[in-house]
Amino acid sequence: MNQSKHRLHDGRHGAALAIRLITKAKKNQVVSVKEDGTVHIQLTAKTTGKQANAALIDYLAQVLAVSPEKIEVVGGVLSNDKLVAVTDIEPAQAQERLLQHVGLE
């Protein structure tokens, strides 16, 4: 039997965010939301990988007003292009909160 690398999810509702992460920035901020829905975020984190993912989760928790436990990097763990799942928030609500933070901080 061919074993797939894909995982099944538990069916919780939420939003999926395509993130383009820039590290080593002067401040944490949502830079923009592109036409294709990709969210450009700058963080002061000095590295990529696990430390940058933790910083991203903490920052998104503040911006989206959700618990960090509701956020998971599900794709691009070691990349600057990430797929992030946020449970218990509607996609429209996530987009609204992100747009409210564009250029702030």
CATH code of residue 56? 3.30.1200.10
What mean pLDDT, rounded, does the chain reach? 88
Residue 35 within a domain:
yes
Asked if residue 58 belongs to a domain, the reply is yes
Is the per-residue pLDDT at 63 higher than 50? yes
CB count in 10 Å sphere of residue 81? 11
Nearest to 82 by CA among 11, 16, 15: 16
Strand order from edge to edge, sheet including 29-33: 29-33, 39-42, 14-22, 81-87, 71-75
Does residue 19 fall inside a structural domain?
yes
Q: What is the domain count for the chain?
A: 1
Domain membership of residue 38 (yes or no) is yes
What is the pLDDT at residue 10?
57
| 84 domain-assigned | yes
Distance from C-alpha of 3 to C-alpha of 42, rounded to nearest angstrom: 37
pTM summary value: 0.84
According to DSSP, the residues that pair with 102 across neighbouring strands are: 30
